[in-house]
């Protein structure tokens, strides 16, 4: 008797494929001749449910990915510009030491928001179409002294999955903190290690990116040094002119260049350590080396204040972002809810503030 083959594929680590061979013709349940409580019926129903769930998940993620709007990014960026303009106005009208000190920290926070916007632009999900996205990305990167297209290439290496902490090209930020004894030593490295981060970024501009403990360049620059530096030089000269003719020349160095390094990059360093080090520190598993420890991250259910200043552009949902890179940041909360509902392996979001979680990680025994 001729038979036809019906295949059901389910997504899993072993790429399991289950086949049922049934007679050709009408696919009637009677053909199987098994009682409903037979084990094979249970397996078949489980496979069909998993398959349906997987298809539904992919369809829902595709809808989130296709939902491309510019309003959210525009609101974030315009708010940042407005707050910077207000700070500059206060500096112009009320120059004094307390205003200078407050401005140092506040401008650094706004610069950090601009740095986070460049991250979204590297994934081509800040603005649409891609030409507008890249134009804003290049501009914001140049304001912060970042080489946008080189940053994009290196950052996408960070998103390779699966990979270990040792393989992560950005682990130079958080791996030394995981290796350091908790307490005062880890806190000191978190605060003062930003100097090492700056040096590493300068080397990457000149020579390309290396992974920790590697001698050869892992990611070559897509642009030469002049092409990298041209937009940066133009933007920095414009800023120097603004500070010189509108405010005071020294403010460019004290209230723009310094906060980029001491505030914006320090915040980025702390956020990276928290998001990529949390599971390593608090997991019940242990690994012999960072070569075995997987690179992973988390979602954080935090407050609105921290979402604006410390985790803008959806960074509180960093695990969701790593799972589906091209979903725009304003849809990441929905994506996180969806993955928690449909993926049992998805790490449930951590409740608490960034400050509280970071404090626990600094003093955690592991």
DSSP character string of 231-244: HHHHHHHHHHHHHH
What pLDDT score was predicted for residue 215?
Answer: 61
Q: Which residue has the higher pLDDT, 182 or 2?
A: 182
Residues 273, 305, 272: CA angle, nearest 5 degrees: 10
Q: Answer whether 318's CB lies under 8 Å from 298's CB.
A: yes
Residue 104 has pLDDT above 70, yes or no: yes
Helices vs strands, H then E, count in the chain: 16, 4
Residue bearing the bigger pLDDT, 292 or 11: 292
Neighbours of 273 (CB within 10 A): 24
Q: What are 39-79's pLDDT values in tens digits?
A: 443 433 444 444 456 888 899 999 999 999 999 999 999 99
- Can you tell me the distance from the alpha carbon of 328 to that of 332, in angstroms, rounded to the nearest whole number? 7
The whole-number pLDDT of residue 343 equals: 86
Each domain of the chain, given as residue ranges in start order, spans 70-363
Checking if the pLDDT of 165 tops 90, the result is yes
Chain centre distance of CA 230: 27
Residue 145 DSSP SS3 = coil
For residue 221, what are its two tokens?
A: 């620059």
Which stretch of DSSP H or E encloses residue 101?
Answer: helix 97-122
Give residue-wise pLDDT tens across range 300-352.
999 999 999 999 999 999 999 999 999 999 999 999 999 999 888 899 899 99
pLDDT at 366 (0 to 100): 65
DSSP E strands: which ranges in 226-341? Answer: 300-301
- 206-230 per-position pLDDT tens digit: 777 877 766 666 677 777 778 888 9
**pLDDT at residue 163 above 80?**
yes
Q: Is the pLDDT of residue 186 over 80?
A: yes
Q: What is the pLDDT of residue 311?
A: 96
Average pLDDT over residues 6-35: 37
Percent over 90 (pLDDT), the chain = 69
Rounded distance between C-alpha atoms, residue 343 and residue 57, angstroms: 9
Residue 207 pLDDT? 78
Strands (E), the chain: 3-9, 17-23, 300-301, 350-351
pLDDT of 272 strictly over 90 = yes
Q: Is the bond into 162 cis (omega within 30 degrees of 0)?
A: yes
Other beta carbons less than 10 A from residue 78's beta carbon: 10
């Amino acid at each position: 008797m001729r038979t036809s083959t019906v295949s059901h594929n389910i997504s899993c680590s072993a790429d399991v494929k289950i086949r049922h061979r049934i007679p050709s013709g009408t696919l009637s349940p009677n053909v199987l001749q098994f009682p409903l409580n037979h084990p094979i019926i249970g397996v078949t129903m489980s496979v069909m449910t998993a398959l349906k769930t997987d298809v539904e998940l992919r369809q829902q993620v595709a809808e989130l990915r296709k939902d491309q709007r510019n309003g959210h990014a525009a609101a974030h960026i315009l708010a940042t510009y407005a707050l910077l303009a207000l700070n500059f106005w206060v500096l112009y009208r009320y120059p004094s030491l307390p205003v200078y000190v407050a401005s140092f920290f506040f401008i650094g926070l706004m610069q950090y928001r601009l740095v986070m916007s460049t991250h979204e632009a590297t994934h081509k999900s800040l603005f649409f179409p891609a030409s507008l996205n890249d134009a804003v990305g290049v501009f914001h990167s140049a304001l912060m002294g970042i080489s946008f297209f080189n940053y994009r290439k290196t950052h996408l290496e960070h998103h390779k999955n699966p990979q270990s902490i040792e393989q992560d090209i950005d682990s130079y930020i958080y791996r030394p903190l995981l290796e350091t004894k908790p307490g005062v030593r880890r806190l000191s490295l978190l605060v003062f290690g930003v100097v090492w981060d700056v040096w590493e970024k300068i080397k990457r501009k000149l020579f390309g990116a290396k992974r920790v403990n590697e001698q050869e360049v892992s990611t070559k620059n897509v642009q030469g040094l002049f092409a990298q530096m041209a937009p940066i030089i133009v933007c920095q000269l414009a800023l120097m002119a603004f500070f010189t003719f509108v405010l005071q020349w020294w403010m460019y160095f004290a209230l723009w260049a310094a906060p980029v390094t001491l505030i914006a990059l320090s915040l980025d360093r702390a956020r990276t350590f928290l998001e990529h080090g949390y599971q390593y520190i608090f997991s019940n598993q242990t690994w012999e080396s960072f070569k075995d420890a997987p690179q992973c991250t988390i979602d954080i259910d935090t407050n609105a204040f921290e979402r604006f200043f410390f985790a803008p552009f959806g960074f509180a949902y960093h695990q969701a972002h790593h799972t589906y890179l091209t979903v725009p940041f304003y849809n990441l909360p929905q994506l996180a809810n969806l993955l928690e509902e449909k993926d049992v392996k998805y790490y449930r979001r951590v409740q608490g503030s960034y400050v509280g979680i970071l404090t626990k990680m600094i003093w955690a025994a592991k």
